[in-house]
Chains A and B, each alone.
Chain A
Amino acid sequence: ETGVTQTPRHLVMGMTNKKSLKCEQHLGHNAMYWYKQSAKKPLELMFVYNFKEQTENNSVPSRFSPECPNSSHLFLHLHTLQPEDSALYLCASSQVASGVYEQYFGPGTRLTVT
């Protein structure tokens, strides 16, 4: 595996379900991110993890719960979601260093909440 992988690629869940999205990066990076992309909206940053520590929570509702067990893996635990949470969820990683901003994205998980 190379780059950033995400599973599952597609997920349909009811509002009472609990599910998790998984992201894995094979780039040796030390920072990972969750983004949300809703239809016709820009990518919205949700969470940032540096060296496994959460450094950013962009006012995300508590029904989204991130977990970063190590610098290669990132999870997004979902529970009691709303239909408006249906979106493409993208994971990204980067190497935190002075002057380096490039983030590398996975293919995303298309989530539908029914």
Chain B
Amino acid sequence: DQQVKQNSPSLSVQEGRISILNCDYTNSMFDYFLWYKKYPAEGPTFLISISSIKDKNEDGRFTVFLNKSAKHLSLHIVPSQPGDSAVYFCAAGDQGAQKLVFGQGTRLTINP
């Protein structure tokens, strides 16, 4: 039973446009959500996070939105740049239990 799902294995976006990556979760106990970015031959790099008491968190070009009623979060990247091409993972955590549950990842390709 996959508690965190990223239903799009890949996404292709033109440089300068907005990239929207989506993530759904099933466990209502999750209270913290994170996005990680992974380049080939490197470990995942923490990007941005949001707690369940908020519905939006912004950091530069990156914004994460949380819709608790729909159990859905999304990552918006605007404007998209070629260096954003990577695999993006969403993850969810439960009350500081340290058990992060990860989605399968979405491969984002930014086309010049």
Contact = CB atoms under 8 A, between A and B. Distances in A.
A and B assemble together: yes
Interface of A: 4, 6, 31, 33, 40-43, 45, 48, 50, 55-56, 90, 92, 94, 96, 98-108
Contacts of B103: 42
Closest 8 CB pairs of A and B: A105-B43, A43-B102, A101-B93, A42-B102, A101-B32, A105-B44, A107-B43, A42-B104
Nearest to A90: B43
A102 B34 contact: yes
A106 B102 CA distance: 16
Interface string B86-109: 000100010010111111110000
A101 B43 contact: no
Contacts of B102: 42-43
A103 B100 contact: yes
Interface stretch (B10-18, B45-53, B62-70, B71-79): B45-53
Contacts, number: 60
A79 B93 CA distance: 31
A108 B44 CA distance: 9
B4 interface: yes
A98 B51 CA distance: 12
A42 B2 contact: yes
B96 A99 contact: yes
Contacts of A96: 96, 98
B46 A31 contact: no
B42 interface: yes
A84 B104 CA distance: 18
B104 A98 contact: no
Contacts of B34: 101-102
A89 B50 CA distance: 26
Nearest to A91: B43
Contacts of A107: 41-43
Contacts of B49: 101-102
Given A42-B104, A43-B102, A101 B96 contact: yes
B89 A43 contact: yes
A112 B25 CA distance: 32
Given A42-B2, A42-B4, A43-B89, A105 B45 contact: yes
